[in-house]
Amino acid sequence: MPTTYEPIATTTLGSATNQVDFTGISGSYTDLILVIEGLASGGTNYPYFRVGNGSIDTGTNYSRTYILGDGSSASSGRDSNTSTPTLAEFLTTSRSIITIQFQNYSNTTTYKTMIVRTSGASNKVEANVTLWRSTSAINQIRLAVSSNNFASGSTFTLYGIKAA
């Protein structure tokens, strides 16, 4: 019986880094889920992610709409035509979680929609939907930061989910 939920790759950082890539992602799944847990190093970091087919798309082909709460107020906003669809920041002393769901990631017909949840108990909780305006299949994912790093010990795991 084929496995429905399968780990594709996992990385536990042995040292601080500003970028983690997943490449050569098989197109044999239906959806992907990326789970990130950890800390920032060198100061609060400001992560973002990008995707691509054969190479990472660094163009302004992303947009997102978000809702967030920081413990005292709630807000919503959006970014259009961005090259760095952002994720809520990681802190250096309080661990955070990011999950990104990539629905129907390998089809070559539609633009790609991702559902992002960030949980930072000491800074903010956020949900957003991100759109990559490309009909190409996703076979590369990049997590990066615009300043500081992901801390050593942070984990990044990619899972594949198969429909029946």
Partner 1 sequence: MATTYEAIATVTVGAGGAATFGFTSIPATFTDLLILASVRSDRPSNSIDNGWVYFNSDTTSGNYTKRRLWGDGSAVYSATTYDLDYYCPGSTATASTFGNLYYYIPNYAGSNNKSFSVDSSQENNATIAINNFTAGLWSSSSAITSITFDLNNGSFVQHSNATLYGIKNS
Using CB under 8 A, list all residues that contact partner 1: 3-7, 10, 35, 37, 67-74, 76, 94-97, 99, 117-127, 153, 155, 157, 159
Nearer to partner 1, 56 or 127 (CB): 127
Shortest Cβ 134–partner 1 spacing (Å): 28
Nearer to partner 1, 35 or 56 (CB): 35
Name the residue among 47, 48, 45 with its Cα closest to residue 63.
48
Residue 85 CA, distance from chain mean position: 9
Shortest Cβ 84–partner 1 spacing (Å): 22
Contact residues for 105 (Cβ-Cβ < 8 A; gap 6+): 25, 29, 31, 32, 112, 137, 138
Q: How many CB atoms lie within 10 A of CB 127?
A: 16
Quote the CA–CA distance of 32 and 51 in Å, as a whole number. Answer: 12
Nearer to partner 1, 61 or 114 (CB): 114
Shortest Cβ 149–partner 1 spacing (Å): 17
Shortest Cβ 128–partner 1 spacing (Å): 11
Quote the CA–CA distance of 137 and 143 in Å, as a whole number. Answer: 18
Nearer to partner 1, 127 or 131 (CB): 127
